[in-house]
Structure 1
Amino acid sequence: MKNTALTATHEALGAKMVPFAGYNMPVQYEGVNIEHEAVRTAVGVFDVSHMGEFLVEGPHALELVQKVTTNDASKLIVGKAQYSCLPNDNGGIVDDLIVYKVKEETYLLVVNASNIEKDWNWITSKNDVGATLRDLSEDYSLLAIQGPKAVEAMQSLTSHDLSAINFYSFVIGDFAGIEYVIISATGYTGSGGFEIYCKNTEVKQIWDKVVEAGAKPIGLAARDTLRLEMGYSLYGNDIDDTTSPFEAGLGWIVKFTKQFTNSDHLSEQKKHILGRKLVAFEIDEKGIPRQGYDIVDASGKAIGKVTSGTMSPSLKKGIGLGYVAPIFSDFGSKIYIQIRKNAVPATVVKLPFYKG
């Protein structure tokens, strides 16, 4: 089990620690609902240093990034980032990721913790163009400072105007007394804020100053309820090696203005009716949907499975994502979630669940 540079700090704060993606991570401190509410209404800080960071450099850096990702990285300018995915050779997804253009001929790829080795091997196997690749995952830490009061609370820690950093933009500069960190207006909560990339040796100082400035420590359990309220896909639950970007509602990050891994197959796939679609649903009665529960029709026939589910702290009702046959995917469609012996009625809804 790996530790982050802040594991001892979390333990000292009394966090409940659990194994996650091979790391010893804080799942909660005071409780999921309290932490969730802090991010929705004020500001919280997550240690997400288990995420992976790869640097792609050199004259052929863009060529490799374009080859392995579905989104069009040629549209990026320095200081901008984009959400994308790595397609595999079978129409599925190796991983979803964020691509940052750090400078000309230098891109930072931020990948999921559970996929670091798999992604590294995949990208390396596609690097026949001579790009320089470096895996920085073991040396860098990542903090997510999220919530509507993030700008106000953190402004005193930097000389940069945080309110001027647009969504999916970033600056490299001073923060919490450290000279060169990435301050990125990204995050997976839907409540605004920043992500801070720094060296492992710097993260304790940054964490302490961020908490001192008013951010509440938040665990992975609240990170999951927050992302699910926005309908953001979680790799391993809602998307994986067998799911198409189009089935998963990620067609908006697949750009056929370029050639990329398996692009011809995905282009054909886009023209045909899908066998299943990822939908969002709200439970109509009492009940909490969980990953793996069957989704059934009115007659009790199985039509899909729940991929993510929880009791929404903001909406106070059961919400979830799951794949169903397209005939059941229209907004307002009635489906049923098999919760133990009961087929509990649910309604297909438009994302996000939480509209702030």
Structure 2
Amino acid sequence: MSADSQPKKTPLYDVHQDLGANLVDFAGYLMPLRYASETAEHKAVRTGAGLFDLSHMGEIFLSGPEAAKALDHALVGNLSPMAVGKARYTMIVAPDGGVLDDLIVYRLADQTYMVVANAANVDVVREALVERAAGFETAVDDRSDSYALIALQGPDAAGILARFTDAPLADLKYYAIMAGQVAGVDALIARTGYTGEDGFELFVSSGDAVKTWQTLADVEGVVPAGLSARDTLRLEAGMPLYGNELTSATTPFDAGLGRVVKFDKPGDFVGRSALEAAAQTPAGRRLVGLVARGRRAPRKGYAVVTSDGTPCGVVTSGAPSPTLGKPIAMAYLDSGVGETGLAVDVRGRHEPVDVVVLPFYKRS
């Protein structure tokens, strides 16, 4: 393996090693899969607070007088009307309507936006934005290596973070962002997350990552959490994962996320004609939730079958649910398939499942 193909290390790599994390190559980065018990990490986020290193995510800035117009053209959402300090979930699609990535866009100032992309897709998103913004008066700047991203998630997150910042967290609504200091470190504080719980994502300079992490990790009850817990948390919350529920062969409408596509915004956008056709055409499949009746968990790629064993869909994500105490999954079912008498082929055995409305878990 050549040196340039070695996985990257986040600014918190040494911290994870000291904590005894099981480190794995994820999207080109050495990331903590778990520290001890992924179930304990999961439950800490549901009942208290968990701390995540998300520094593998990408931060791409667009700035200039036509930054908003460029994003309206490049993405499926309508970003121009979004107020400063707000965030929006959106997607970037190919001309054929296939999803290239799902994104969160933050408006940091009148002419400045931050696009947060999934780690595996940063290059694709950056290159697409550069190409699509070429005709607009805006600059595209990938600052991913300059930022660390630390997430504090769970019902206790707000109370814990308030101990280390003077920022008015009570005024920070869900899907909003503000500049402030955390433990004396300059940060962008966003009330966003991928766990189904209240929480915050803190964008800090790479050099401030260890101090920020350690300050929060030293609080009694805060539990470092890895990728495994993050995956079961987002699965319970019914949140799609790129590469699973979303792919370049999937349109937003396939995934039941057509609401993020804004046809009423002014001007054209990449993928509009394909998505207009997709919106008018009955989907060939639909995304559903599955709860297994037995103990064997459906996994990504397993076939969903009818009562006579006929394949009728495929599992996109699956795992035992620590909160529900049962295996759960998201799956695409073929058009016209009913929701009774289904099973998942788990290594040759047909395990009965029940179709349920997503999400599996919603905080009270």
- TM bin, normalised by shorter chain, reads over 0.9
Could you tell me which residue of structure 1 aligns to residue 315 of structure 2? 306
Q: Which of these residues, 235, 238, 246, is aligned with residue 253 of structure 2?
A: 246
Q: Which of these residues, 16, 38, 42, is aligned with residue 10 of structure 1?
A: 16
Could you tell me which residue of structure 1 aligns to residue 263 of structure 2? 256
Q: Which of these residues, 260, 265, 278, is aligned with residue 274 of structure 2?
A: 265
Written as runs of structure 1 = structure 2, the 5 A alignment for 1:153-168 is 153-168=160-175
Corresponding residue SS for 1:100: strand
TM-score (norm 1): 0.97
Q: Distance in 2 between matches of 1:313 and 1:286?
A: 12
Note the C-alpha offset of 1:69.
1.2
Could you tell me which residue of structure 1 aligns to residue 284 of structure 2? 275
Could you tell me which residue of structure 2 aligns to residue 318 of structure 1? 327
The RMSD of aligned alpha carbons is 1.1
Q: Distance in 2 between matches of 1:268 and 1:219?
A: 40
**2:123 matched to 1:91?**
no
**2:218 matched to 1:212?**
yes
Q: Distance in 2 between matches of 1:39 and 1:334?
A: 34
Q: Distance in 2 between matches of 1:195 and 1:176?
A: 15
Could you tell me which residue of structure 2 aligns to residue 237 of structure 1? 244
Q: Distance in 1 between matches of 2:306 and 2:74?
A: 39
Could you tell me which residue of structure 1 aligns to residue 49 of structure 2? 43
Aligned AA (1:312): S
Answer yes or no: is the 8 Å Cα contact 2:62–2:112 preserved in 1.
yes
Note the C-alpha offset of 1:350.
0.7
Answer yes or no: is the 8 Å Cα contact 1:334–1:348 preserved in 2.
no
Q: Distance in 1 between matches of 2:329 and 2:337?
A: 15
Note the C-alpha offset of 1:271.
1.2
The number of aligned residues is 353
Q: Taking every aligned residue pair, what percent have the same amino acid on both sides?
A: 39
Written as runs of structure 1 = structure 2, the 5 A alignment for 1:70-149 is 70-127=76-133, 128-149=135-156
Q: Which of these residues, 65, 75, 86, is aligned with residue 69 of structure 1?
A: 75
Aligned AA (1:41): T
Change (3 A) 1:333 1:73: farther
Q: Distance in 1 between matches of 2:144 and 2:15?
A: 20
Structure 1, residues 255-277: CA drift from partner, whole Å, max 9, x if none?
11123111122112111111111
Note the C-alpha offset of 1:326.
2.8
Could you tell me which residue of structure 1 aligns to residue 344 of structure 2? 337
Gaps (5+ residues) in structure 2?
A: 1-6
Written as runs of structure 1 = structure 2, the 5 A alignment for 1:22-37 is 22-37=28-43
Q: Distance in 1 between matches of 2:244 and 2:314?
A: 11
Aligned AA (2:309): G
Corresponding residue SS for 2:43: helix
Q: Distance in 2 between matches of 1:75 and 1:186?
A: 20
Answer yes or no: is the 8 Å Cα contact 2:69–2:80 preserved in 1.
no
Q: Distance in 2 between matches of 1:197 and 1:114?
A: 19
Answer yes or no: is the 8 Å Cα contact 2:9–2:30 preserved in 1.
yes
Aligned AA (2:136): V
Note the C-alpha offset of 1:125.
1.6
Structure 1, residues 267-300: CA drift from partner, whole Å, max 9, x if none?
1211111111111111122210100101111111
Change (3 A) 1:334 1:129: farther
Corresponding residue SS for 1:327: coil
Gaps (5+ residues) in structure 1?
A: none
